[in-house]
Structure formats: structure tokens, C-alpha cells
Structure 1
Amino acid sequence: MVDDGCEVGWEQVGPVQAMVGYRAKFVPAAMSRTHVVTAVAHFAPSPLDVDLYTRDVSTFAKQRSRSLRGMQSGVGAFAVIVADGVTPELVAAATVKPRLEFAVIVQPVVVDLAARQIHTFRGRRFIGAALNGFLRRTLDAQVQAPV
């Protein structure tokens, strides 16, 4: 995350401590400033935990960006859970379309340490389409498969 230009630190995100990266960048394709928040936590999740953590990251990201959201500013966030092992139910929970709120997109990501894989939604979105490429490149730069 540091290599991608983020300020990085430890924060309380919902009930868990998470390593959080934050940066704001003007995205020409969207013609807006986008606040990117990546929150990474290591725990053994259930499919419900993936959804709850994604909601917690959404709340945290909106508070962290401290800006008005709308035509000229938005928030893109990644709720990253690092797990020692992953079930098919967790993969399904991580690969749903990202949660979209007013000027906020939050994408769940599950990193499987055992299989050395990243599970997340990789499709295209119509709503928020201008940010698709930017968010995909940001995710690829900030979250990489374990080696």
C-alpha cells in the first residue's frame, strides 16, 4: 500500500484491528476525486463476517474520507480479510458485486493463505463504471497473492 502512495496505519474497523491504507486521487475517467481506503484484517471469517466486515469498512471509509460525496468526490474501499483457509461459501461471499451506496463502492476481498489466492469480484459494474479500471488497478497494486 505504501508503494501505491497510501498513508498506512493501524485502526479499529468495527470490532477488529486492521491495517488501513488511505489515499485520495483525482481520477480523470470519473472526473472526480476518489478517496481510496483499504482495510486489511486477519481472522477466521464466516460468510456473514465477510458481509459485516464490508459494512464496517464502508462506515469507516466514509468517516475517514471526511468529505462531501457526490458529483466531484467519491469513496472506493476494499474490505480485505486474510484467512488461513477458505471454504466455497467464503469464496461466494467475497465474489458478490461490490456494495454500492451514494458515491461509495466497497468491495470485499478474501485472501486465502493456504491456497495462495485472492477471491473478489472481477466483473464489470454499470453503476460506477468510470471507476472500474481505476479500482481494479488499485486493488491489484495494493493486494497481491501470497507467495
Structure 2
Amino acid sequence: VIWDIRNKLQKVEEKEVLTTAQQKYRNYMYSLMRWMKNIHDISIVRPTAISDLRYSHKEAITGITWMDPFYEFSKVGSITKADEESGDKYSMQLITSSVDGSICIWDMKKKPVIDPGGYRPKRLKRLKKRPSALE
């Protein structure tokens, strides 16, 4: 799981200054809406990317290292300059190591590959065709 925390810490640590009337109004509104689930909580950071469990570490990760942006790992595991193999000037790869002894190389520029049967599009709850009795 990768989280994007840019500009998140500033919002969490920022103090909001309210007058007493504004604070009373806010408390009153919260008391009326306690039954609602707060989905706009700024302290919750949602994941940006999640890897497939089949290709992830099985144990806890012990180390994360970003690769030099001018070099990248090729498909066979050799280190090459980033602009030699692909048209991109910089690489965005990171290396993780785990307690289970595995080392994974993650490329942030690659698009995910979806295996057949691994992804099922959401089925629509509405009928595609209107029933003949209703026409």
C-alpha cells in the first residue's frame, strides 16, 4: 500500500480559529447530525496504490529505498540508465525488502496488468431493457 501524504500534514496540524458564535453553531449542527458518517475527515489518508497480494511481500517490510532517478532496473534485473531503454528521462522505482527474505522492485510508471478473471466490472443494478409490461 502506498499513501500520498503531500499537503496532508499541514491540514491536520493547522488550527482553526472560530468565534464563540461559530463554535456554538458548529456544536449544534454536529449534535443534529451525529447519525451521519463523517466521510470528509482530513486526518484519514486514503491509499494511492495497492499491490496484488500474489506479488507482494508475505511478511513485514523492513526497508524501503528509492532508486536513483537516472538509473532503473530492467526486466532481467540489471541496472541501466533511465533514458537508454525508455523514452522517459527519470525513473520512479523503489526497492523494498521484507522479513521473509524477499526483495521487490516497484515501478510507479508502469500501468497495472489485469489478469483474465482477476477484475470484474461492477454490475449495474438497473435493467438495461425496460420490461415489456411497463411500455
TM over 0.5: no
Whose strand fraction is larger, Structure 1's or Structure 2's? 1
Structure whose CA Rg is larger: 2
Q: Which category describes the TM-score, using the shorter chain as reference length?
A: under 0.3
TM-score (norm 2): 0.22
TM-score (norm 1): 0.21
